[in-house]
Structure 1
Amino acid sequence: MIRIRAGTPRSARSRSVVRASAREGLPAWPPGARRPGRPPGGGPGHPPLRRALALGPPAAWGALGVTYKLACPFAQQTALGARLVSSAVFLAVGTGLVLHVRRTLLRELRQARAVAGAAQSVLLRPLPSRVGGLHLAAAQLSADRGAAVGGDLYEVIATEYGVRVVMGDVRGHGLGALATVAAVLGSFREAVHDEVELAGVLRRLDRAMTRHLRERALAEHPSNGRPPDSPVAEEFVTVLLLEIDADGAVRALNCGHPWPYRLSGARADPLADADPLPPLGAFPLPSDLPAVDCGRLRPGDGLVLYTDGVEDARDAHGRFFPLPAALAETAGDLAVSPQAVLRGVLTRLLRHTGRRPADDVAVLVLRNDRGRSACAGLAGVPAARHGTPHPQSTGRL
C-alpha cells in the first residue's frame, strides 16, 4: 500500500524529485520508470493504439479488394456480368476509402478550429457591456474564412488615469497577423496601468512592436546569428489611443488610424481632424508626443471606432462603403443601445459587400452613460486625473 502524505500535492512531490535529482546530478526518473501523470505507452493517449485505429479501416478496405481479386473465382472470369460485379466491388472499396479519409480530415479540421477559436478568444477577449461608466459594443469580422480573429485589435480598460481605449489594424489580415496583435495587445494591457501619460503608453507599444519585428526577423533568418540591422520590411500597425476622463474629457494619440466618429443626437461627426502620426513599425516616434484634445463626451454621446476595412469595403461595382451615411442613419439608435448602432452598421456593411468583406473589419461603439442613471457612477475611474486610485471594475469575461 502506498500512502500519500496529506497536504503535499502529487505535482509538488514530482517537482521536488526533479530538483533533488538535478542537485545530485542524477536523472530525474529511473530508466523505464513512468513519470507521474503520464499514461503508460510512452505518451498521452496511447499514440500507437491511435495510429492502429486510424489505419484499421483503410487496411480492411484494401484487404477486402485484394482478397476478392485473388481468392474469388468469379473475379477471374471475363464475362460482362463478372466484370460489372468486379467494378462494383472495387467502386465500393474506393468509396469506403474516400469516406474514411473525408471523415478523418473533417475531424482534424474541427479540432484545429476548436483550438484556434480558444486561442483567439484568449487573445482578443470579449469586452464587457460596461467599463467605467461607458456602455460598450464591439464586433470583428475576419477576411479569412474559419477565423474569428484577424489583424484588427481593440481593448477597453478602466484605470486610475481614466478609461483607456486602443483600436489597431495590423498590416495584412487573417491568422498571419495574430502574432503582431498579441504583441501590441499584451503591451497595452500592461502599459495602461503603469504609464501616467498617454504618450508613455504609445512609446511602450512602439518598443513592443520593434522588439516583435526584430525577433521575427531573426527567426526568419537564423543563419545571421544575431538580429538584423533592420526589422521585417513593410510591417506596421496603425494604432489609435483614447483616454476618457471622469468628466468626459477625451484625449487621443493617432498613429495612422482613421479618426473615430462622435455620435451626438442625430449627428455623426469626426472626433478630430489633426494629421495622424506614422504607423508603428514604419518610422520612429517623434520626441514630443502631445495628446490631441478632442473635447468632451457628454452624457448620452457616443464614439464609433473602426478599422480601415470598413471604409475600404467595396460592392460589386467598386463603390466604397458610405460609412458617414450609415452612421447618420443609425445615430438615433444610440439612445437604445450601442449594440443597435453596431448591428445597423454591420448589417449595412455586409449588404454592401455581398457578405464577403475583402479585409478584416472591427467596429467598437462607446456610449457615455455617466450621469444618465444613479448606478452609472464612475466605477474604475477617479475623480481627478492624478488623484487617488479608485477600485477598478473592468468586468472581464
Structure 2
Amino acid sequence: MFRSKVVSSAVFLAVGAGLMLHFRRVLLRELRQTRRGAGAARSTLLRPLPARIDGLATAAAQLPADPGAAVGGDLYDVIATDHGVRVVMGDVRGHGRGATGTVAALLGSFREVVHDEVELACVLRRLDRALARHLRERATVGPDTEAQVAEEFVTVLLLEIRRDGELRALNCGHPWPYLLSDGHVRHLTGADPLPPLGPFPLPTELPPVDCGRLRPGEALFLHTDGVTDARDGQGRFFPLLATLSEVVRTTSRISPHTVLRTVLTALLRHAGGAPTDDIALLVLRNDRPARRAPSGARGTARPATTNPQPTNHA
C-alpha cells in the first residue's frame, strides 16, 4: 500500500513537472513571438536612422513609458529631399494603442508628402489633414467616442536644413531644439510656437521661422517633453540644459552618439529607471565641409536666442 502511494506520488510529480516544463516552453515561445512582433512594429514606425543623411551625422532613441509597448506616443524621422533635409519630431497626447495608431498615421503622411511639397507650410498642412482623417476614423470605427477623439492633440516640430546649413522651422506646441556649438548650448530660437495639431485649425499664413544656420561641426538636440518633465524622487525636473552643457564642455568634438548616451543615462538615473512619459531624443551634427566665403564677405551673424531654460509643454 505504501509502495503504491509512493509510486502514485512519483507519477504525479513527474506529470506535474512535465506540464510545468511544457507551459514554460509555451510561454517562452509566446514571449519571443511578442518581442519579434514588437521589434517589427518599432522598425516599421520608428525605423532606424542611417548613420549619415546627406552630410548630417545622426543618433536617435525612443523609450515608451509603457514597458510592454513596442512604440509609444512620440515620433521622429529624418529624410533627405530635393528641398533639403527635413525633420519631424512629435508627441501624441496619451499612450497605448490609440497613440501608436496616431504615430503611424502622421509618420506615413510625412514620409509621403515630404518629397512632394516644396514649402514647409504645405507639409504641415498635409500632416494636419492626415491627423484629422485618422481621428475621424477612430471616432467612427474605434472604441473611442467623438468627445474623446476631440480632446486628442499632437505637438509637432518641422525642421528644414538646406545644403548651406540654413535652418527653417514650423513649431506646433513642441519644445524648441538646442543648438550645440563650441562648448555652448542654447535654444535654437525663442519664437512662440503655434498651437498643437488637432484642437484648432492652422492659421491662414504659415511663414517658417528663420533659425539661422547650422554650421559645420555644430549639432541640434531635439527632444519630446517627456525629457524635461521627468522628475526624481524629490519632484525635481531633469536638468537637461546642465546635462547638455556638461557633455559639450568635456568633448573636443560633438558626437551625436555620445550626447545621446550621456543624456539618456542621466535621465534614467534621475527618474529612477522608470520614466512616466514617453521619451524621444534626436541629435543631428553637420558634417558637411565648410564653404569658403567670397572674398570680402563678412561672416554670417548668429541669430538672437532667448529662453535659455527648458520650457515644459502640455
Q: TM-score, normalised by structure 1?
A: 0.68
Deviates more, 1:281-290 or 1:182-191: 281-290
Q: Does 1:369 align with 2:287?
A: yes
The within-5 A match list for 1:67-78 is 74=1
Could you tell me how far 1:340 is from its partner in structure 2? Answer: 1.1
| Counterpart amino acid of residue 351 in structure 1 | R
Give the match for residue 255 of structure 1.
172
SS at match of 2:230: coil
SS at match of 1:193: coil
More strand by share: 2
Could you tell me how far 1:102 is from its partner in structure 2? Answer: 2.6
CA distance in 2 between counterparts of 1:341 and 1:85 reads: 65
| Counterpart amino acid of residue 203 in structure 2 | P
Q: Does 1:349 align with 2:267?
A: yes
Could you tell me how far 1:173 is from its partner in structure 2? Answer: 2.8
SS at match of 1:354: coil
Could you tell me how far 1:138 is from its partner in structure 2? Answer: 0.9
Could you tell me how far 1:325 is from its partner in structure 2? Answer: 0.3
| Counterpart amino acid of residue 271 in structure 2 | T
Q: Does 1:265 align with 2:182?
A: yes
Q: Of residues 158, 163, 176 in structure 1, which corresponds to 2:80?
A: 158
Q: Does 1:210 align with 2:127?
A: no
| Counterpart amino acid of residue 280 in structure 1 | L
| Counterpart amino acid of residue 214 in structure 1 | R
Do the aligned residues in 2 keep the contact of 1:180 with 1:212 (CA within 8 Å)?
yes
| Counterpart amino acid of residue 221 in structure 2 | V
Give the match for residue 5 of structure 1.
none
| Cα deviation code 1:84-132 (max 9, x no counterpart) | 6645543443333233223212211211221221122022111111112
CA distance in 2 between counterparts of 1:150 and 1:194 reads: 28
CA distance in 1 between counterparts of 2:7 and 2:94 reads: 55
Could you tell me how far 1:153 is from its partner in structure 2? Answer: 0.9
Q: TM-score, normalised by structure 2?
A: 0.85
Could you tell me how far 1:373 is from its partner in structure 2? Answer: 9.7
| Structure 1 gap ranges (5+) | 1-73, 223-227, 375-397
CA distance in 2 between counterparts of 1:236 and 1:203 reads: 15
Could you tell me how far 1:324 is from its partner in structure 2? Answer: 0.4
Give the match for residue 20 of structure 2.
98
The within-5 A match list for 1:1-397 is 74=1, 86-220=8-142, 232-332=149-249, 333=251, 335-372=253-290
CA distance in 1 between counterparts of 2:291 and 2:167 reads: 21
Do the aligned residues in 2 keep the contact of 1:171 with 1:236 (CA within 8 Å)?
yes
CA distance in 2 between counterparts of 1:334 and 1:277 reads: 36
Aligned residues: 291
SS at match of 1:157: strand
CA distance in 2 between counterparts of 1:312 and 1:122 reads: 28
Could you tell me how far 1:295 is from its partner in structure 2? Answer: 1.4
Aligned residues: CA RMSD: 2.3
1:215–1:273 CA distance, 2 compared to 1 (3 A) = same
SS at match of 1:274: coil
Could you tell me how far 1:174 is from its partner in structure 2? Answer: 4.8
Do the aligned residues in 2 keep the contact of 1:300 with 1:367 (CA within 8 Å)?
yes
| Counterpart amino acid of residue 341 in structure 1 | V
| Counterpart amino acid of residue 80 in structure 2 | A
CA distance in 2 between counterparts of 1:105 and 1:352 reads: 34
More helix by share: 1
| Cα deviation code 1:301-352 (max 9, x no counterpart) | 1110001111111112221110000010112437142111111111111111
Could you tell me how far 1:220 is from its partner in structure 2? Answer: 2.4
Name which one, 1 or 2, has greater alpha-carbon Rg.
Answer: 1
The percent identity for this pair of structures is 69
1:160–1:206 CA distance, 2 compared to 1 (3 A) = same
1:355–1:294 CA distance, 2 compared to 1 (3 A) = same
| Cα deviation code 1:3-60 (max 9, x no counterpart) | xxxxxxxxxxxxxxxxxxxxxxxxxxxxxxxxxxxxxxxxxxxxxxxxxxxxxxxxxx
CA distance in 1 between counterparts of 2:17 and 2:237 reads: 47
Give the match for residue 45 of structure 1.
none
